[in-house]
Homo-oligomer: A and B are copies of this chain.
Amino acid sequence: MARHFDASHAAFESEFAAFLKEERGTGHDVADIVSGILKDVQARGGEAVAEYTAKFDKLQIDPATLQSDNVNLHLLAAQCPQDLRDAIDYAHDRIAAYHTAQRPSDHSFTDDAGVQLGWRWTALESVGVYVPGGRASYPSSVLMNVVPAKIAGVDRIVMVAPAPDGQLAPAVAYAAVKAGVDEFHPIGGAQAVGALAFGTSSLAPVDKIVGPGNAFVAEAKRQVFGRVGIDTIAGPSEILVIADETANPDWIAADLLSQAEHDPSSQSILITVDKSVGKAVDKSVESQLKSLSTGERAAESWNAHGAIVDAPDLATAANIANQIAAEHLELAIADPDALLPSIRHAGAVFLGHHTPEALGDYVTGSNHVLPTSRAARFSSGLGLYDFLKRMSVQRASPEGFAALAPAALRLAEAERLPAHARSVSIRSNREPG
Contact = CB atoms under 8 A, between A and B. Distances in A.
A351 interface: yes
A399 B88 CA distance: 21
For this complex, into which size category does the number of interface residues on chain A fall?
Answer: 35 or more
Contacts of A427: 251, 353-354, 356
A356 B392 contact: no
Contact of A417 (B258, B355, B371, B392): B258
A408 interface: yes
A229 B379 contact: yes
A378 B340 contact: no
Interface stretch (A9-17, A45-53, A186-194, A359-367): A359-367
A87 B407 contact: yes
Contacts of A201: none
- In this complex, the member of A31, A123, A347, A395 whose beta carbon has the largest number of chain B beta carbons within 10 angstroms is A395
B226 A375 contact: yes
Nearest to A399: B354
Interface stretch (A63-71, A97-105, A160-168, A177-185): A97-105
B255 A423 contact: yes
A31 B119 CA distance: 36
A420 B363 contact: no
Contact of A378 (B229, B293, B356): B229
A225 B221 CA distance: 11
A265 to B, nearest CB: 15
A381 interface: yes
A292 to B, nearest CB: 6
Contacts of A251: 423, 426-427, 432
B418 A117 contact: no
Interface in A379-433: 379-381, 383, 385, 389-398, 400-401, 404-408, 410-412, 414-424, 426-427, 430, 432-433
A138 B415 contact: yes
Interface stretch (A54-62, A242-250, A303-311): A242-250
B362 A140 contact: no
B417 A261 contact: yes
Contact of A392 (B381, B397, B426, B432): B381
Interface string A252-263: 001101101110
A142 to B, nearest CB: 11
Given A87-B407, A139-B415, 7 more contacts: A87-B411, A120-B340, A343-B391, A358-B421, A361-B412, A362-B408, A381-B390
14 contacts: A87-B406, A87-B411, A91-B407, A98-B117, A125-B344, A125-B377, A139-B411, A226-B375, A229-B379, A257-B422, A347-B391, A350-B394, A354-B432, A367-B392
Interface of A: 31, 35, 83-84, 86-88, 90-91, 97-98, 101-102, 104, 107, 109, 111, 115-117, 119-120, 122-125, 138-140, 169, 171, 207-208, 218, 222-223, 225-226, 228-229, 232-233, 235, 246-248, 250-251, 254-255, 257-258, 260-262, 288, 292-294, 298, 332, 336, 340, 343-367, 370-371, 373, 375-381, 383, 385, 389-398, 400-401, 404-408, 410-412, 414-424, 426-427, 430, 432-433
